[in-house]
Amino acid sequence: MSQTVLVVDDDPHIRQLLVFALEKAGLATREAEDGEAALTAVAEAAPDLVVLDINMPKLNGLDVCRRLRAQGELPILFLSSRDDELDRVLGIEMGGDDYVVKPFSPREVVARVQAILRRARGAAAPAAANAVLSHGRLSLDPESWTARWNGQEAPLTVTEFTILKTLMGAPSRVFTRDAIIDRLHGPGFAITDRTIDSHVRNLRGKFAPLGGHDVIETRPGVGYRLGACLGQAA
C-alpha cells in the first residue's frame, strides 16, 4: 500500500506541483490549504509524512508543528518561502525532520520525503541491524523505533532517532557533521552544519529531564560522539 503524504501550502500552484511529483514517485497524497485545515486532515486520517509550509495564514507551519509534536512524532518536512536560516533552525528545533527552501526542485522534495520515509520504515535494514542497542543507561530498539533512558521512553523524531543510532553504532568514533548528514540522506545533500547542531540540541533537551545529561559528547572542531550515558551532569 502506498504511503500517504499530506501537502500543506496556501499556494495552490505549489500544492499541485508537489502532488504531481509525489504521485509520480508512487506516493499517495492529500492536500490542505492552511494550518487549521492541516490539523483537521491529520485528525481525520494521519498521513505517513507532512510537507508543511512555514508561512501560512490562520496558523503558520511552526504553530502546526508545535501542535503535532504535542500529539506524536509524525515526520515533518518544512518548506520555507525565503532563505531565512532562523526559520529553518526554528523548524528543526521544534521537531521538523528536514526542510527545503523555496524556490525548490520538486525532485529534491521527493528525494527528501523518500529519505525520511525510508528511515521511518527501516524496511531495508538487515535483521542484525535491528537488534536492541545499549550503552550505559541508554537503549535503542530499531524495530519499534523507541529510545529509552533507564527504562523511560524519550519521544524522538525519525531524524533524531537516526542520529542517535548512528552514534551508538560506533560509540568510540567521533562523527563529523558531514558524516552524520551522509548517514541521514546519503552523500551530496546540501544541509548546513547548524541543522545537525539543532538536532543534537533537541536530543539533549529530550534526555536531560530524564537524567540523561551525557548522551552526546561534543568534540570542538570535529563533531559529535556518543557520551558515557551514565547520567553525569555536563
- Give bridge partners of residue 6 from the DSSP assignment: 30, 50
C-alpha cell at 126: 538487515
pLDDT digits (tens, 9 = 90+) for 115-142: 888 777 653 444 445 678 899 999 999 8
Homologous superfamily (CATH) for 4-121:
Response regulator (3.40.50.2300)
Q: What is the pTM of this model?
A: 0.63
Burial of 87 (0-12, 13-18, 19+ CB in 10 A): buried
C-alpha cell at 26: 508512487
pLDDT at 234: 52
> How many Å apart are CA 81 and CA 87, to the nearest integer?
9
pLDDT digits (tens, 9 = 90+) for 143-187: 888 999 999 999 998 889 989 998 998 887 888 888 888 777 665
Of 28-37, 44-53, 111-120, 216-225, the poorest mean pLDDT is in 111-120
Q: Into which CATH architecture does domain 127-226 fall? A: Orthogonal Bundle (1.10)
Q: Where are the domains of the chain?
A: 4-121, 127-226
Instruction: To the nearest 10°, report the CA torsion of 157, 163, 169, 170.
Output: -160
Whole-angstrom CA distances from 132 to 138, 140, 156, 168, 217 are 10, 6, 16, 11, 21
- Which residues contact residue 173 at a Cβ distance below 8 angstroms, ignoring those fewer than 6 apart? 225
pLDDT digits (tens, 9 = 90+) for 56-109: 888 899 899 988 887 877 889 999 876 566 666 777 777 788 888 888 899 989
